[in-house]
Structure 1
Amino acid sequence: MATKALSVDRVVNVTINLQPLAASRRNFGVLLIAGASDVIPPAERIRSYTGIDGVASDFGLDAPEYLAAELFFSQSPRPAILQIGRWVKTPCPAMLRGGILTAEEAARARWTAIADGSLTLHVSGETHAVTGLDFSEVTNLNAVAAAISGKVASSGVACAWDGERFTLTTLDAGPGASLTYCTGAAEGTAIADMLKLTSATALAPQDGLPAETIKECVVELADRGDWYGLAVADDGLGVDDHLVVAQYIQAASKSRIYAATITDTRVMDAAYADDLASRGKALKLSRLFCCYSANKYAAISAIGRAFTVNFSANRSTITLKFKQLPSVEAEGLTESQANTLAAKRCNVFAAYNNDTAILQEGVMSGDTWFDEIHGTDWLQNAVQTELWNLLYQSKTKIPQTNSGVHQLITCIENVLEQAVNNALVAPGTWNGDGFGQLERGDYLPKGYYVYSEPVELQAQSEREQRKAPPVQCAVKLAGAIHSVDVAINVNR
C-alpha cells in the first residue's frame, strides 16, 4: 500500500455549519433586594440565592436582608431565584480577599506547625513587616485570623476568616484607604502564600469607597445584573428616597419595577397627601408598586407571588388581586380606609368578614395594573429577542423584500401566540386607532393583528439604510375579573 495518499476531501468535501446559540430572553421573575449589611463585598455587589437557607447562612437570622428574603421565599408557589445587592450606605474600608482554601490547606495541623510566621503588608501606600506570628496553639482558623489581627492592628488592618478564605480590611474607611497584595518577609516562615493573599492567589484588591446614596446604589446595581424587580431592605428610607429610586426605575431604558412598603398609617387618611402612594400617583409612576402594611416587607411577599409566573406555560398569567401574603398579618380596615387606599392606588393585604384575607387591588402607582406592566414587559422582551435571533442565526440574509418582511411578521406572531397561550392576550374588540386593514371597533379573533406596509412603498432613504418597513401590532389584553354584580330576581 502506498505510504502517501490524497485526502478524500478532493472528491467528497463535507463541512458542518453549527448555528450560533440563540440569545436568551430575560427572566422576569428575579427580585433584587438591596441592603446595607456588610456581608457582600462591594467588589462582588450582587449575590444570587435559590432558597432561604443560603441567605440565612450568609446574613444570619436578624439582618434586614434575611427578613425580607424570608417573606419572598414564603410564597406559594415558591419563587425560584432571589438576588441580594450591597448598598454602601456608610464609607467602606479597603479589602483584600484571599483565595478559597482547600480542605488540605485549611487543616489545623498545617497551621499549628508555624511559630514564627511573617508577611509584609502594603497599606495605603506604606509597607509594614509583620513577624512573630505564632499559631502553635490555635484550635481553628478563626484563631489564626485573630492572631494575625492582634499583630497587624498597629498597621491599620484587621484579618478575618469566613469559613473558606482569609480577608484583610483596613481600619480606616473611605476613598483614602487602600490595600495591595501581601508579600513575604525577610525573616521567619512566610505565610502570605498560605493565606492566599498574594498576587498569584488573591482576588483583586478593593480600595475604600465613600458612602453612596440609595439612588447611586441602584444605578450601580443596575449595571451589575439583569434583575427585574427591586426592593430595599432598610428602615432609614424616607418618602423622597423611595421616589428618587422609583423615578430612576421609571426613566431607565431597561424595563424594571420598584416595590415599596408603606408602614405610615397616615396613608389611610384621605386628607394626607405627602405619603409615598399619593406622591407616586401624582407623578404617575407606572413602575412603582406600593403596599400598606404593618409588616415593613409586605410588598416583597406580593412580588414573590407575581414572580412565580412562567410565561411559557399555558394560562399561567395572574392578577395580584385575591392573592395571599404568607407570614403577613392582614390589615383590619374600615370601608373608608379601604376606599382611601384604593383612591391612592396603594395595595393592601385586607381582612374580610368571611374569615378570608386578600391582597387588593394589584395596581401600580400609575394608571396600570401590575400584571399589565409585568406581562407587557415580558412581551416586549420576547419579541425583541426573537427578532434578534432571527437576524442573528440566519445562515443567509433576510432579504429586504416582502418575503423577508413576512419572516419578521411570522416571528412576531409566534410570540403573540405564546401571549395568547399564557392568557396575557385574548380575542376581543379593538378600540384604538386603526391601521392597515384594522379599524376601530373591529373584532380581533386571534387577539392580535400585525401589519407592515409593502416594501415597494418604503422611502428610498430608508431602504438604503437597510431598514425594514415599520411593523405595527394591535394586541388585546385578556384583562382579569376583579368584581361581580349579581341581580337575583325572585318570583313567588
Structure 2
Amino acid sequence: MSLSIKEVVNAQIMPQAMAARRRDLSMIAIFTPEIGSAFTDDTTRYVIVSSAQDVANLFGTKSEAHKAALSLFSVRPTPKRALISRWAKAKQEIPATANALKGSTISAGINAFKAVTDGAMMLNVGGKDVLLSGLNFSTAIDFSDISGVLQKALPENSNLSVIWDATGHRAIIQAQSAGAYPATKLGYVADPNTGTYVGNMLKLQDGQASIVIGKSAVTVEQELPSEALHKLQNVYQDWYGVYFADAITDEQLDDMHTWIAAADMKVGAYTALRDELLDWNNDNILKKQCDKSSGRLMVEYNKTGDDHAAVSLLGISLSTNWNAQNSAKTVKFKQQTAVRSDDRITLSDAEKCRRLGVNFYTDYDGVSMIAEGVMLGGVFIDETVGIDAFLDACQKQAFTTLQANPTKIPQTDKGQAMLIGALTVIGNEFVRNGFLAGGLWRGNDIGELTYGDRLDEGFYFYSDSYDLQSLADRESRKAMPIMCAIKLAGAIHSVDLLIQFNR
C-alpha cells in the first residue's frame, strides 16, 4: 500500500459563509378580515400568493382581498409575490374541519381503472388497518364511479365518505362528522398483499397523499390593526408594504399608522374616498396623521369607485429593482392601469391634496398620471423607499463583511478600511441605479467633507482613527462609528420654459 499524497500536499476546501440576504422591499402585505379557504384555523397568519388568481382561488372572485390583489398585480412591473394576511376585524367563528386523506392528482386514465376487477388496499382508520377488497372498476364510466366503488367498500357505520374532487382530479376520503375525532383519523393506504393494489393508482399512499387532522370549531377574537400587524411580524418579517383591504375607521387608520411609524422600515397605503378627508382642519383624521410627519403613509384620493386605488400606488412605489442600472424612479407621472383616471378633480381639490400630501390620479391635457408621488405630509415616496433600501443594503453588507471573513476584521484602522471598502460597494451600487448622484454638500461637516464641498461620487464614508477610541469601547470590541454622507439624485417634477424671440 502506497502512502497518501496528503503526506506531501494536504489540500482542503475552506467553508464559505452565507451572505446575509437583503430585505425584500417589494413585498406587500394585504390584510383581510375574510376567512376564505386560507384561514380555516386559528393559527395561520398569512399565505403567499403570486397572482390575483391565487387570491381568487383562496377567497373567491368577489372578495375584497381579490379586488385589492387585482389592483396590485396590475402594476408594471408586476410584483413577483405578495402576502395575504389575517385581520380579525370582528370576532371570527372558525368552523370545525373533518379528518381526511386527500390524494394527489390522478395520472392514470379511466381505462386503466376499468381493467381492475379485484382491487384492494389497506386503509388506516383510527389507528386500525381496514381492508378494502374486491374493488371492481370494470363498469365505471367516469371517476365519480370510482369513488362510488370505494364508498361501497368502506365498512358500515365507518362515518367516512369518498369524494371525487373534479377540480383537483383526485379522490378524497373524509370523515362525515367534522371535528377532532380519533375514531375517524385517517392514515395512508398500503399494499395488503392480496388482489390488485390500487393505492398507488389512486395516489393515496405515503408520498402521494396528504393527511388532514380534523379540528374542533374555534373562535378568533377581534383584533386592532396594530395587533394584526404585530402578529404577522412575529411569524414572518420579510415584508415591507401594508394595505388593509377593507373599510377601516378613523381610529383604525390612526392605530395602523402609529404601528407603521414605530416599526423597523415599513410603509403603508390608504385609499381616501370621502371629500371631507381633504379639509385642512384638526378634526380631519388625515390632517392628524399629516401632523405626525412620519413619512411612512401614502394616501390616494379617489372618487371613481376604485376602493383599492392606494394598493396600486403602493405596488408602483415598491417595484424598484435596486440592483439594476438606472432603476430608481419617481412615483409621479406613473400610470395605474387598474384605476380609472378622475377628470373631475378640480384645481381646488388638487391644491387641498398637495397641502396634505395626498396623491390623486387624474389627467393632464388628456394624459393620465399620478400626482404628486408623496407620502402624507409631503415627503417624496421614492426618497423614503430609497433611503430604506440603502440603509438595509449597508447594514447587510457590513454584517456579511464581519460574518463571512474566515478569520476576523481587526480592530484597527486597517480593519476599519475593510469595512468602509465593503460599504463603498453599496454606495457605487446606488449611484449606478440612479438614487445617488454627485453634487454640492449642504449638510453638516463629516470628516474632510465640509458645507459647500463638491461630493463628486454621490456618497462619502468616514471614520475616525482607532487612536481616538475609548478603552471601554475597545474592550467591548466595538468598531469606530462610520459616518456616511449621501447626495440624493432627486427627480425633476416641473420645469419653467423661458422662450425669447426676435424678428
Q: Same fold (TM over 0.5)?
A: yes
1:209-248 matches, within 5 Å, as 209-213=219-223, 214-222=225-233, 223-234=235-246, 236-248=247-259
Cα deviation for residue 138 of structure 1 reads 12
CA 1:97–1:373 in structure 2 vs 1: closer, same or farther (change >3 Å)? farther
Of the three residues 211, 223, 231, the one matched with 1:202 is 211
Is residue 2:287 matched to residue 1:278? yes
- Give 3-state SS (helix, strand or coil) of 1:26's partner: coil
Cα deviation for residue 166 of structure 1 reads 5.7
Q: Structure 1 CA distance, aligned partners of 2:269 and 2:105?
A: 42
Is residue 2:2 matched to residue 1:18? no
CA 1:201–1:262 in structure 2 vs 1: closer, same or farther (change >3 Å)? same
Of the three residues 470, 478, 492, the one matched with 1:481 is 492
CA displacement 1:63-84 (0-9 Å, x = unmatched) = 1111111111212232222222
Conserved in 1, the CA contact under 8 Å of 2:333 and 2:370?
A: yes
Q: Pairwise CA RMSD of aligned residues?
A: 4.2
Q: Structure 1 CA distance, aligned partners of 2:297 and 2:145?
A: 44
Q: Structure 2 CA distance, aligned partners of 1:435 and 1:6?
A: 62
Q: Residue in 2 aligned with 1:81?
A: 81
Q: Structure 2 CA distance, aligned partners of 1:169 and 1:265?
A: 53
Cα deviation for residue 170 of structure 1 reads 12
Q: Residue in 2 aligned with 1:427?
A: 438
Of the three residues 417, 423, 428, the one matched with 1:417 is 428
CA displacement 1:454-475 (0-9 Å, x = unmatched) = 0111101100111100000011
Partner AA of 2:359 in structure 1: N
Q: Residue in 2 aligned with 1:454?
A: 465
- Give 3-state SS (helix, strand or coil) of 1:202's partner: strand
Q: Structure 1 CA distance, aligned partners of 2:467 and 2:500?
A: 62
Q: Residue in 2 aligned with 1:151?
A: none
Is residue 2:363 matched to residue 1:351? yes
1:44-63 matches, within 5 Å, as 44-63=44-63
Q: Structure 2 CA distance, aligned partners of 1:142 and 1:266?
A: 62
Conserved in 2, the CA contact under 8 Å of 1:196 and 1:202?
A: no
Structure 2 residues without counterparts, runs of 5 or longer? 128-136, 152-158, 188-201
Conserved in 2, the CA contact under 8 Å of 1:93 and 1:169?
A: no
Structure 1 residues without counterparts, runs of 5 or longer? 123-135, 148-154, 186-193
Cα deviation for residue 104 of structure 1 reads 4.5
CA displacement 1:364-387 (0-9 Å, x = unmatched) = 124521101111111111111111
Q: Structure 1 CA distance, aligned partners of 2:55 and 2:345?
A: 34
- Give 3-state SS (helix, strand or coil) of 1:68's partner: helix
How many residue pairs end up in the alignment? 466
Conserved in 1, the CA contact under 8 Å of 2:104 and 2:204?
A: no
Conserved in 2, the CA contact under 8 Å of 1:269 and 1:337?
A: no
Q: 328-337 or 265-274: which moved more?
A: 265-274
TM-score (norm 1): 0.81
Q: Structure 2 CA distance, aligned partners of 1:99 and 1:184?
A: 6
Of the three residues 295, 298, 307, the one matched with 2:318 is 307
Is residue 2:340 matched to residue 1:329? yes
CA displacement 1:207-247 (0-9 Å, x = unmatched) = 6242331332222222324111121111x311211221121
Conserved in 2, the CA contact under 8 Å of 1:95 and 1:170?
A: no
Q: Residue in 2 aligned with 1:33?
A: 30
Q: Structure 1 CA distance, aligned partners of 2:176 and 2:242?
A: 31
Q: Residue in 2 aligned with 1:189?
A: none
Cα deviation for residue 48 of structure 1 reads 2.3
Of the three residues 267, 283, 287, the one matched with 2:277 is 267
Partner AA of 1:405 in structure 2: Q
Cα deviation for residue 399 of structure 1 reads 0.7
Q: Structure 1 CA distance, aligned partners of 2:221 and 2:143?
A: 34
Of the three residues 338, 352, 360, the one matched with 2:371 is 360
- Give 3-state SS (helix, strand or coil) of 2:445's partner: coil
CA displacement 1:167-217 (0-9 Å, x = unmatched) = 989999xxxx867794379xxxxxxxx99899x953566662423313322
Q: Residue in 2 aligned with 1:436?
A: 447
Q: Structure 2 CA distance, aligned partners of 1:410 and 1:299?
A: 40
CA 1:104–1:470 in structure 2 vs 1: closer, same or farther (change >3 Å)? same
CA 1:196–1:232 in structure 2 vs 1: closer, same or farther (change >3 Å)? farther
- Give 3-state SS (helix, strand or coil) of 1:477's partner: coil
Partner AA of 1:344 in structure 2: L
Partner AA of 2:269 in structure 1: A
Conserved in 2, the CA contact under 8 Å of 1:93 and 1:171?
A: no
Q: Residue in 2 aligned with 1:338?
A: 350
CA 1:445–1:179 in structure 2 vs 1: closer, same or farther (change >3 Å)? farther
1:60-209 matches, within 5 Å, as 60-89=60-89, 90-95=92-97, 98=100, 100-104=102-106, 163=168, 182-183=184-185, 202=211, 208-209=218-219
Conserved in 2, the CA contact under 8 Å of 1:32 and 1:231?
A: yes
Cα deviation for residue 100 of structure 1 reads 4.6
Partner AA of 1:395 in structure 2: P
- Give 3-state SS (helix, strand or coil) of 1:91's partner: strand
Partner AA of 1:461 in structure 2: A
Cα deviation for residue 252 of structure 1 reads 1.5
CA displacement 1:262-295 (0-9 Å, x = unmatched) = 11122244458424x3222022232111111131
Q: Structure 1 CA distance, aligned partners of 2:99 and 2:448?
A: 64
- Give 3-state SS (helix, strand or coil) of 1:417's partner: helix
Cα deviation for residue 349 of structure 1 reads 0.5
Of the three residues 391, 397, 405, the one matched with 1:380 is 391
Cα deviation for residue 44 of structure 1 reads 4.0
Q: Structure 2 CA distance, aligned partners of 1:142 and 1:64?
A: 38
Identity score, percent: 29
CA 1:138–1:62 in structure 2 vs 1: closer, same or farther (change >3 Å)? farther
Partner AA of 1:336 in structure 2: S
Conserved in 1, the CA contact under 8 Å of 2:297 and 2:376?
A: yes
CA 1:338–1:180 in structure 2 vs 1: closer, same or farther (change >3 Å)? farther
Cα deviation for residue 86 of structure 1 reads 2.8
Conserved in 2, the CA contact under 8 Å of 1:96 and 1:202?
A: no
CA 1:467–1:5 in structure 2 vs 1: closer, same or farther (change >3 Å)? same
Partner AA of 2:95 in structure 1: P
- Give 3-state SS (helix, strand or coil) of 2:323's partner: coil
Cα deviation for residue 344 of structure 1 reads 1.3
Of the three residues 383, 398, 403, the one matched with 2:409 is 398
CA 1:212–1:19 in structure 2 vs 1: closer, same or farther (change >3 Å)? same
Cα deviation for residue 46 of structure 1 reads 2.3
Q: Structure 2 CA distance, aligned partners of 1:268 and 1:170?
A: 55
CA 1:10–1:39 in structure 2 vs 1: closer, same or farther (change >3 Å)? same
